[in-house]
Amino acid sequence: MQQHWKIMVWLLAGVLVGLGLQRMTEAPGSIGVQFAAEPIVVDGNAVGIQITRVTAQLLPKGRSTSESLQVGDVVRRVVINAGMADEAAVDTDSPAALTAFLQKEGAGGVATIELVSGGKRSTLVELDPDSSRSTWLAPFRFLADIFMRLLKMLIMPLVLTSIITGVAGLGGGSDFGRMGRRTFGYYVTTSFFAVGLGLILVNLIQPGNGARLGLSVDADFGQRSENWLDILRRMIPENVFGAFTGNANMLQVIFFALLFGFFITKAPEKPKKILTDLFEAAFDIVMRMASWVMKLVPYGVFCLIVKVVGETGFDVFRPLGAYMLTVMLALIIHAGVVLPLLLKVVGKISPIAWVRAMSPALMTAFSTSSSALTLPTTLNTLKKRGKVSNRTSSFVAPLGATVNMDGTALYECIGVVFLAQYYASAGNFELTLSAQVTVVMAAFLASIGAAGIPSAGLVMMLTILSALKLPLEGAALLLAVDRPLDMCRTTVNVWSDTVGSAIVAAREGETGLAESGSDQHAPS
């Protein structure tokens, strides 16, 4: 059986097993904390329950600790999906009542935690780790974690060796400049197409007008600001070896690799040959490792999908339906119309043949929700199934995994305008044309600065909300549906990367793209 069909079969099997576990097991919810055994009593009345331990950090990475639950906080009330049709709430005058409430509501949705001090916190409601379903899901979680770690293991060596090899192979002169212009020209063009499409659809559908989100329209607009030059500053590592210690530092590694590869071409012949041969050999070894990991993709996808579906099922799709519809429609149009048109018109390549060839990379992107984790599969697929040369794929694809985020840019634009429409219709916020232009530019820059990791787009959305001086609390509501949307927008990101690789390869004179068994030759 071909790899992409095997992945599809195991993906569907994961959905079925996850749904089966849902029906057979209980799924009490958890907000990631433990409470005191007795409520706090003031003047003979129970006013709330104190948090004694934080057992899990349920907010995405990048959210400040001031927005998270802390030991010592006194919880007065918990509301699930505040302001929406399936809203549910409980006053925490009794630990037993709160436990029973979370068991009844189960995993999924967003909890708004009201504190006695008057503050609020928002977090996801996740599966209680002590539940029977969590026990059944434990082996799938373990195997999925092993698979994700194998992919993470390859990211840094693959990015470093592929870019250095690609740039050194270009010669550092006119070839480097020409391919660089074509690559970045494609990235900028498709990112602006994506943001523009998102802006048009969110203004046509207007999912935020009249939405019931339960957010305070009297919230303080403008909680903190970001300097967009920070993205450029962050690209340059203070310590390059320190940059290799985390996969979130890919921009820094890419910057160093581009410089290192370029100056290899300027070195004398002997060290130039030694370094070129060294990194080509290292790239070959890492690609062999990637080919081995590729064989595990169907089973890794199966475990990941069982974990996702088993934890919350499809209930996450119910809240914020109009918002999700807008995002999905924009993703479908961009991936199914805009990118195939570019592929056909500019690259002279059949979109159907190309999507068939790229299917293993697309399915891996869908299951991992990470462009960076998908990079080993993307490079392997481009080389073996797409017939794109190492010279082109090793330069274009690693850059795309970090700076080409069409799906993320589109999602950020729609999400921010959706929240702005809510504040404009329910409060006194004015959604002007200049504000929407700010969203377009901010979404484009934020998509470049976003790490290729799960939920990075949601974290970058906070920056755009700050640019519009909107409350950051609105982004917390979008947490409930971020996982399924993250899976879809990551697939679009990777699809755009592969289309870009094909277009650049075609413009560089490569032939036989996506034709099984065809020989292809890079131009001399």
CATH number at residue 204: 1.10.3860.10
Question: Strand pairing of 88-91 and 110-115?
Answer: unpaired
- Same structural domain, 114 and 200: no
Instruction: For residue 133, give the nearest of 252, 262, 231, 21 by alpha carbon.
Output: 21
Residues 6+ away with beta carbon under 8 Å from 172? 261, 262, 263, 264, 265, 266
Identify the band that residue 331 occupies on the pLDDT scale cut at 50, 70 and 90.
very high
> Phi and psi dihedrals of 408, rounded to 5?
-70, -45
Tell whether 80 and 164 lie within a shared domain.
no
Strongest mean pLDDT among 246-260, 295-309, 439-453: 295-309
Helix (H) or strand (E) holding 113: strand 110-115
pLDDT at 245 over 70: yes
For residue 513, being part of any structural domain is answered with no
For the chain, how many structural domains are there in total? 2
**pLDDT class of 458 with cuts at 50, 70, 90:** low
CB 125 within 8 A of CB 108: yes
Three-class DSSP labels, 293-332: HHCCHHHHHHHHHHHHHHHHCCHHHCCCHHHHHHHHHHHH
* Helix H or strand E segment including 49: strand 45-54
Structural tokens at position 247:
């996969």
16 lies in some domain: no
Q: What amino acid occupies position 188?
A: V
- CB-count burial class (<10 Å; 0-12, 13-18, 19+) for 498: buried
Using the 3D structure, point to which of 127, 144, 168 is the last residue of a domain.
127
Same domain? For 379 and 474 the reply is: yes
**54 vs 270, residue with greater confidence:** 270
pLDDT value at residue 229: 63
Average the pLDDT over 361-368 and give the result.
Answer: 88
Higher pLDDT, 450 or 199: 199
Q: Residue 425, exposed/middle/buried by CB under 10 A (0-12, 13-18, 19+)? A: middle
d(CA 419, CA 162): 40
Share above pLDDT 90 across residues of the chain, in percent, rounded to a whole number: 15
Q: Indicate whether 456 pLDDT > 80.
A: no
Phi, psi of 211 (to 5 degrees): -65, 145
Residues 464 and 387 in one domain: yes
Q: Count CB atoms within 10 A of the CB of residue 319.
A: 23
Same domain, 370 and 414: yes
pLDDT digits (tens, 9 = 90+) for 45-73: 888 888 888 877 665 444 444 456 778 88
Amino acid at 445: L
Task: Judge if 83 and 167 occupy the same domain.
Answer: no
Query: Is 1 buried (19+), middle (13-18) or exposed (0-12) by CB count in 10 A?
Result: exposed
For 223, counting Cβ atoms within 10 Å of its Cβ (0-12 exposed, 13-18 middle, 19+ buried), the class is: middle
Residue 439 has φ and ψ, to the nearest 5°, of -60, -45
Coil, helix or strand at residue 161 = helix
> Is the Cβ–Cβ distance between 510 and 392 less than 8 Å?
yes
Same domain flag for 111 and 162: no
- Three-state SS string across 237-253, please? CCCHHHHCCCHHHHHHH
Give the C-alpha distances (Å, rounded to integers) separating 483 from 173, 369, 493. Answer: 43, 8, 15
Higher-pLDDT residue of 54, 355? 355
Domain, as residue range, for 106 = 28-40+71-127
C-beta of residue 184 within 8 angstroms of C-beta of residue 503: no
The CA distance from 207 to 202, in Å, is 7
Is 471 inside a domain boundary? Answer: yes
The answer on 209 and 101 residing in a single domain is no
Distance CA 369, CA 375 (A): 12
Contacts of 393 (CB under 8 A, 6+ apart): 162, 166, 379, 382, 383, 386, 501, 505
Helices 174-205, 321-333: crossing angle, 10 deg rounding: 140
Nearest to 253 by CA among 323, 332, 164, 191: 164
- Max mean pLDDT among 76-80, 275-279, 432-436, 482-486 falls in 275-279
Q: Which residues pair with 75 in a beta bridge?
A: 49, 115
**Mean pLDDT, rounded, of the chain:** 78
Give residue 354's pLDDT.
94
Q: Give the span between the Cα atoms of 521 and 388, in whole angstroms.
A: 9
On the CB side of 192, how many CA atoms lie within 13 Å of its CA? 9
Q: Are residues 431 and 367 in the same domain?
A: yes
Tell me whether residue 458 is in a domain: yes
| Contact yes or no for 98/36 (Cβ under 8 A) | no
Burial code (b: 16+ CB inside 10 Å, e: under 16) for 138-151 equals eebbebbeebbebb
Q: Is residue 375 part of a domain?
A: yes
Cα-trace Rg, the chain: 24
Q: Within this chain, do residues 102 and 161 fall inside the same structural domain, yes or no?
A: no
Q: Are residues 339 and 461 in the same domain?
A: yes
| Nearest partner of 471 among 213, 84, 117, judged by Cα | 213
Structural domain contains residue 524: no
**pLDDT of amino acid 57:** 63
Residue 329 banded pLDDT, cuts 50, 70, 90: very high
Q: With residue 77 as reference, give the H or E element that holds it.
A: strand 74-80
Assess if residue 253 is contained within a domain: yes
pLDDT of residue 493: 92
Q: At 397, which amino acid appears?
A: A
The predicted pLDDT at position 194 comes to 92
pLDDT 10s digits, 105-131: 777 667 778 888 777 777 777 777 777
Most confident residue range from 205-219, 260-274, 334-348, 384-398: 334-348
Packed helices 132-170 and 390-403: angle between N→C axes, nearest 10 degrees: 130
Any idea which of 220-224, 257-261, 450-454 has the lowest mean pLDDT? 220-224
Residue 452 has pLDDT above 70, yes or no: no
Tens digit of pLDDT for each residue in 144-195? 889 878 877 887 887 788 788 877 776 656 666 788 889 889 988 998 899 9
Can you tell me whether residue 395 is helix, strand or coil?
helix
Same domain, 32 and 177: no
Of 112, 127, 142, the one marking the end of a domain is 127
Per the domain annotation, does 288 fall within a domain?
yes
